[in-house]
Chains A and B, each alone.
Chain A
Amino acid sequence: MSAPRPDAIDAMLKRAFATSPESSRHDCPDPALLASWYERSLARDEFSRIDTHLADCARCQSIVASITRADDALAPAPERRGWRWLLDPRLMAPAVAGVIAIIAVARVFRQPEYIAHAPVPEQIALSDQKSFASLAQREVGQKFAPGTAAENEIPSAMPAPSALPATQPSYGITAAQAVNGQIAAAPATSRANSLMAMALEQPVSTNSASGVPGLIHLASGMARVAAPHSSTTWFVGPHGLIFRREGTGPLRAEASGISTDLTDGAALSSQVCWLIGRSGTVLRTIDGEHWARLSAPTRHDLISVQAQSADSAIVVARGGLRYLTTDAGKTWNPL
């Protein structure tokens, strides 16, 4: 006598769920309720009602399954573990090219005449177009007809740096731009940050194919936090980068004191702003310039913040758990 295979129930359930017609109900909650259920922002009774409905409604299960998949798609890719992938020959060539490009940029930036000879444009040889796509698009933006560049993509017509005339500015920052205040980096700010700052100031493009106004090309991973009732805007992003801009004025780097990626923020005024990031990172400023790291409500990545006052805010962690502080982050209470 032989026993059923250990995976027999698994195979049978797969078959049963794959071939069974999807059930659905006539009283399905609307997307707004399902979104609130997903974010755990419903009152207990309402949450339980949706939970019960979901148990037996394949249509609504499909919707929340899609929401969570889409949420994952927006999440940063998990770090690869181990070191063997470093030996992957497919990664070696781009890695070497990247290192060469960084060294080339660093050498050019170290030259003292880089800033000194305004307004003579300086050239920066960048061998890696993709790394500085946004910057390049600003520099040679006029060379492309608006609407021909697909959103977030490098224009296909972008000339290689070597193809540009030697007397014309290439994909670098000109000294004129630097002294004219298009970048007003704080002394502590590295020139790499300046590149990021330049990349933030992209012209609006138009996607002629869809007829929908195109995006302002922000540097990858940067989020914009606008303060209400004022013209102050912060741009926050990877490695704790924070830039502040007043109206259409220059970008000024602010020291975050951290190297964790920042993902979002909420400003109440030009003085009070809350920022959040990975691994439960929460920063706050109450003078608009100096940032203090607050205690972490959770070790999970934070995805959203709602500021209520200088001392009170609600943050949402990936997975939907919400935390409230009313004492400027000294304590956090799950909601």
Chain B
Amino acid sequence: MVPGNFREFLANHSALIARAYEGSGAAQWTLPREAFAEALCASVAASAGDAATTIDSLRLPDLALAAACRAGIAPAWEHFILEYRPVLYAAARAIVREDVLARDLADSLYADLYGLEVREGRRRSLLDYFHGRSSLATWLRAVLAQRHIDYLRETRRTEPIDNRRPEAASSDPPDPNRQRYVGAVAIAVEKALGALDARDRMRLGYYYRHGLKLKEIGRLMGESESGVSRHLDRTRRALRAEIERVLAQEHRLSRDQIRLCYDYAAEALPLDLARVLPEAG
């Protein structure tokens, strides 16, 4: 928040601010108008739209509650804990899938939400980053998920190499062509995946990497469950046709050899999707 901008915001949008204050229920928390206006100003600054459109689209009651909690108003905190603690626990349980860890994860958020760190005479609260562009509940879930996923990624990064991806030892005699087939199919998959539409790749990611159900993917992508199923099926068929075309035409492999390629790839495909999937601009 730049104080100069805030003064300008106050001067230019006093009517909008007053209307938003009335509609937000901020008064029930005895949140001062200026503190609420400051939260509005931060929301407008974080949005690409103009002030009027942005303010109209905000979850004003949630924004007022967050601002009141940030300001340390006790009834607001009580209400927050009453309303959102079950939401946090349920979300944490869904993310971590283990009760004790879930409670730890959810409880770890409170100190940051309250803002124990004081800078320039002001508590820095995680709620500073809530701008009312979504519901407070969804934002809390996103914060919780981000915290957990970053923790997992950090843990994986520091995990000894020896502990990663133990490959099952095979007792079969090695096929001398195995390495060549696996290499060929990796190249074919890379090409086929890279040529897919972004939303098709996203659907595959949700399904194969994150193990989401069709219904959940549908919710994320704004599609029906059957629509997701159809899209996935179509994408798989397209991938398969492209992979087999590359294997047959570019690597001169027969149907039997292609079948072996699939079998070997399902066991150990040396595919780095981070490289396959292009970084979007």
Q: Chain A interface (Cβ within 8 Å of chain B)?
A: 1-5, 8-25, 30-36, 38-43, 45-46, 51-59, 61-74, 151-152, 204, 210, 212-216, 218, 224, 226, 228-229, 266, 268, 304, 306, 308, 316, 318-321
Contact = CB atoms under 8 A, between A and B. Distances in A.
A90 B261 CA distance: 48
Contact of A17 (B82, B199, B209): B209
A334 B185 CA distance: 45
Contact of B142 (A23, A25, A31, A224): A31
* Complex A-B, nearest 6 residue pairs according to Cβ-Cβ distance, in ascending order: A66-B145, A228-B25, A23-B274, A70-B91, A31-B142, A55-B198
Interface in B141-197: 141-146, 148-150, 153, 165, 185, 189
A12 B138 CA distance: 34
Contacts of B236: 9-10, 13
Nearest to A11: B266
25 contacts: A1-B254, A2-B255, A2-B259, A9-B243, A10-B236, A12-B265, A15-B268, A21-B274, A30-B129, A32-B129, A38-B142, A56-B278, A58-B274, A61-B209, A65-B210, A65-B220, A66-B95, A66-B141, A67-B142, A71-B141, A216-B82, A224-B82, A228-B25, A229-B25, A306-B61
A39 B262 CA distance: 39
B117 interface: no
Nearest to A54: B202
A8 B273 CA distance: 19
Nearest to B167: A19
Given A9-B262, A53-B280, A229 B219 contact: no
Contact of B277 (A23, A62, A152): A23
Nearest to B223: A319
B212 interface: yes
B276 to A, nearest CB: 8
Contacts of A8: 259, 262-263, 266
A35 B94 contact: no
B266 A56 contact: no
A13 B276 CA distance: 13
Contact of A18 (B46, B95, B209, B258): B209
Contact of B133 (A23, A36, A52, A73): A36
A228 B76 CA distance: 13
A32 B268 CA distance: 38
B160 to A, nearest CB: 16
A215 B262 contact: no
B60 interface: yes
Contact of B49 (A43, A51, A308): A43
Contact of B199 (A23, A55, A57): A55
Interface of B: 22-28, 46, 48-49, 57, 59-61, 77-78, 81-83, 85-87, 90-95, 107, 110, 129-131, 133-135, 138-139, 141-146, 148-150, 153, 165, 185, 189, 198-199, 201-202, 204-206, 208-210, 212, 216, 218-220, 222, 236, 239-240, 243-244, 254-256, 258-259, 262-263, 265-269, 271-274, 276-280
Nearest to A20: B273
Given A12-B262, A42-B133, A43-B48, A215 B94 contact: no
A67 B141 contact: yes
A135 to B, nearest CB: 19
A63 B27 CA distance: 34
Given A13-B204, A17-B205, A56 B198 contact: yes
B208 A215 contact: no
A15 B267 contact: yes
A12 B269 contact: yes
B153 A22 contact: yes
Contact of B61 (A18, A23, A212, A266): A266
A32 B263 contact: no
A229 B24 CA distance: 11
Contact of B145 (A52, A67, A210, A316): A67
B96 to A, nearest CB: 9
A2 B256 contact: yes
B205 A229 contact: no
B141 A39 contact: no
Nearest to A316: B135
A305 to B, nearest CB: 10
B48 A52 contact: no
A39 B59 CA distance: 11
A63 B145 contact: yes
A32 B146 CA distance: 11
A224 to B, nearest CB: 8
B129 A31 contact: yes
Given A11-B262, A15-B267, A16-B208, 14 more contacts: A2-B255, A10-B236, A13-B236, A16-B189, A21-B272, A22-B209, A31-B139, A35-B139, A53-B280, A61-B210, A62-B145, A65-B212, A268-B23, A318-B219
A61 B130 CA distance: 20
Nearest to A31: B142
A266 B59 CA distance: 11
Contacts of B85: 151, 212, 215
Contacts of B219: 68, 71, 318-320
Contact of B95 (A19, A43, A69, A321): A69
B94 A72 contact: yes
